[in-house]
């Protein structure tokens, strides 16, 4: 399936349902890395992710009989919406098995396209086992989210668009869960220009492809643990694995904490909502040891529920030292609170929350504890505020911020 002719065919087919996601030049990430960084915003697709490409192309290749049986798949969310949308376009029934941990927004949007949703298992692999079981029971046609050459061909159309828009691209960074996107993008990129380097990016807590490449065969991780739910896969695709071995140049792994600050960077500098899995390629930029190269980071999706978004923003602000908590001990007498507040105000710190504990010591006249949660401009401003408190005779102690 993964031939240039098929990729060209798929590129024309997916245009029927995809938005045009032109590259966005990132001045911010370019300055941070010393490269020319471009973003491929697949989070702007109709279903909020690139998965619509592979799902629609795969279903377009099915016979009428296969479609009439009904379609089934397993997905943590984005492939689910892609299959649901594509099935509706072809007038086919769709059943989607999703992990019970799937964000509510992905479940509801999948249902909104007319699909029947079944929640089963804690991770994708468990949901997939249930989907195979239902497919056998009801005779549904299974649409694999990544281990299918036709699906991978549809996903690879992203590379066609990248190369057409930026012919001299040096590096393409692609997120990896099961490997369908990486298979399509790396295979087509090498067909178009063997000099393009394609780097896969996985969460450190779900690096099944990295482990498989190191061993030379597909391996299953005992467990996965990452906030990047769209790439929380224990076992990569066996059918597509040889393409990855041949065409992927390297794999970078990213810690969850790096995704949190990457989300903050995307919101503040590009006004874009990108889900944690889609941020893998952004967080990986600083791990790429190159300069003065043209790099494209594929933002694979933007389906994130508001509660998760709020939590990620708060943790990002804390990691960047823009919110922090300091504890000081002061005598229990009138005016002390005002005095501390004046010191903070003098350094342009903004108080978010106060916790005044009179019972930290049996000798209340000697000391009461004041915990102050503050907003600052960053690490240097935080140090400035702490130093000012020290100069006034307080002994500030930095503690874990709790919003």
Pairing of strands 250-254, 197-203: parallel
Tell me, what's the pLDDT at 125?
82
Question: Which range of residues forms the domain containing residue 227?
Answer: 4-49+148-316
Pairing of strands 250-254, 141-142: unpaired
Residue 117 and residue 155 in one domain: no
Number of domains in the chain: 3
Residue 96 and residue 169 in one domain: no
Residue 214 and residue 281 in one domain: yes
Cα distance between residue 251 and residue 209, in whole Å = 8
**Residue 153 structure tokens:** 């061909």
Angle, in degrees to the nearest 10, between helices 4-14 and 149-165: 80
Residue 341 and residue 205 in one domain: no
Tell me, what's the pLDDT at 106?
81
**pLDDT lower than 50: segments of the chain:** none
Kindly name the residue from 60, 212, 277, 300 that is annotated as catalytic: 300
pLDDT, tens digit, for every residue of 290-302? 999 999 999 999 9
Kindly name the residue from 51, 106, 190, 371 that is annotated as catalytic: 51
Q: 402: Cβ–Cβ under 8 A, 6 or more apart, which residues?
A: 325, 373
Residue 120 and residue 131 in one domain: yes
The residue among 142, 160, 179 that closes a domain is 142
Residue 388 and residue 311 in one domain: no
Residue 170 and residue 247 in one domain: yes
The residue among 299, 316, 333 that closes a domain is 316
Query: Is 51 assigned a catalytic role?
Result: yes
Residue 152 and residue 247 in one domain: yes
Tell me, what's the pLDDT at 197?
98
Please give the biggest Cα pair distance in the chain. 83
Q: Give the CATH number of the domain where residue 221 resides.
A: 3.40.50.1100
**Residue 170 structure tokens:** 């040096």
- To the question of pTM greater than 0.85 for the whole model, the response is yes
Cα distance between residue 308 and residue 327, in whole Å = 28
Residue 225 and residue 253 in one domain: yes
- Strands, DSSP E only, in 90-235? 94-98, 116-119, 141-142, 171-175, 197-203
Neighbouring C-beta atoms of residue 346, cutoff 10 Å:
11
Tell me, what's the pLDDT at 89?
93
Tell me, what's the pLDDT at 365?
56
Tell me, what's the pLDDT at 403?
67
Residue 286 and residue 176 in one domain: yes
Residue 199 and residue 347 in one domain: no
**Residue 161 structure tokens:** 């668009």
Half-sphere exposure of 363 (CA within 13 A, CB side): 5
Residue 124 and residue 34 in one domain: no
DSSP reduced 3-state for 240: coil
Q: Order the strands of the 197-203 sheet from edge to edge.
A: 24-26, 36-41, 294-299, 171-175, 197-203, 250-254
Q: Give the CATH number of the domain where residue 354 resides.
A: 3.30.70.260
Taken in order 229, 235, 240, 244, the sign of the CA dihedral is positive
Neighbouring C-beta atoms of residue 313, cutoff 10 Å:
15
Q: Give Cα separations from 237 to 60, 130, 249 (angstroms).
A: 22, 17, 18
Q: In which element (H, E) is residue 87 found?
A: helix 78-89
The residue among 91, 123, 142 that closes a domain is 142
């Amino acid at each position: 399936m993964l031939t240039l002719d098929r990729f060209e065919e798929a590129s024309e087919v997916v245009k029927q349902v995809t938005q045009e996601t032109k590259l966005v030049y990132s001045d911010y990430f370019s300055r941070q890395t010393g490269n020319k960084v471009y973003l491929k915003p697949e989070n702007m697709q109709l279903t909020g992710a690139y998965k619509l490409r592979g799902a629609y192309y795969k279903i377009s290749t099915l016979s009428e009989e296969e479609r009439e049986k009904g379609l089934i798949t397993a997905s943590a969310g984005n492939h689910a919406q892609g299959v649901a949308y594509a099935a509706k376009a072809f007038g086919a029934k769709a059943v989607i098995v999703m992990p019970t941990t799937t964000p509510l927004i992905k479940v509801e949007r999948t249902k909104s396209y007319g699909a029947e949703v079944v929640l089963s298992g804690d991770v994708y692999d468990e949901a997939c086992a249930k989907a195979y079981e239902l497919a056998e029971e009801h005779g549904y046609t299974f649409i694999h989210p990544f281990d299918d050459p036709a699906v991978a061909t549809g996903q690879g159309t992203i590379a066609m668009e990248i190369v057409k828009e930026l012919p001299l691209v040096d590096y393409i960074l692609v997120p990896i869960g099961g490997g369908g996107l990486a298979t399509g993008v790396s295979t087509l990129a090498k067909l178009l220009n063997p000099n393009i380097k394609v780097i896969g990016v996985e969460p450190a807590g779900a690096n099944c492809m990295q482990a498989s490449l190191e061993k030379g065969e597909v391996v299953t991780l005992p467990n996965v643990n990452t906030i990047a739910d769209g790439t929380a896969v224990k076992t990569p695709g066996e059918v597509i694995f040889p393409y990855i071995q041949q065409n992927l140049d390297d794999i970078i792994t990213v810690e969850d904490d790096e995704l949190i600050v990457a989300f903050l960077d995307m919101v503040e500098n590009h006004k874009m909502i990108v889900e944690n899995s889609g941020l893998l390629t952004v967080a990986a930029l600083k791990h790429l040891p190159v300069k003065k190269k043209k790099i494209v980071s594929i933002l694979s999706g933007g389906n994130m529920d508001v509660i998760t978004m709020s939590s990620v923003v708060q943790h990002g602000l804390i990691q960047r030292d823009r919110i922090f908590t300091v504890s000081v001990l002061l005598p229990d007498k009138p005016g002390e609170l005002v005095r501390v507040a004046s010191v903070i105000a003098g350094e342009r710190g903004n108080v978010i929350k106060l916790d005044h504990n009179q019972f930290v010591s049996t000798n209340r006249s000697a000391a009461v504890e004041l915990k102050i949660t503050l907003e600052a401009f960053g690490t240097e401003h935080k140090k400035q505020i702490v130093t000012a408190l020290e100069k006034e005779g307080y002994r500030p102690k930095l503690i874990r911020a709790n919003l």
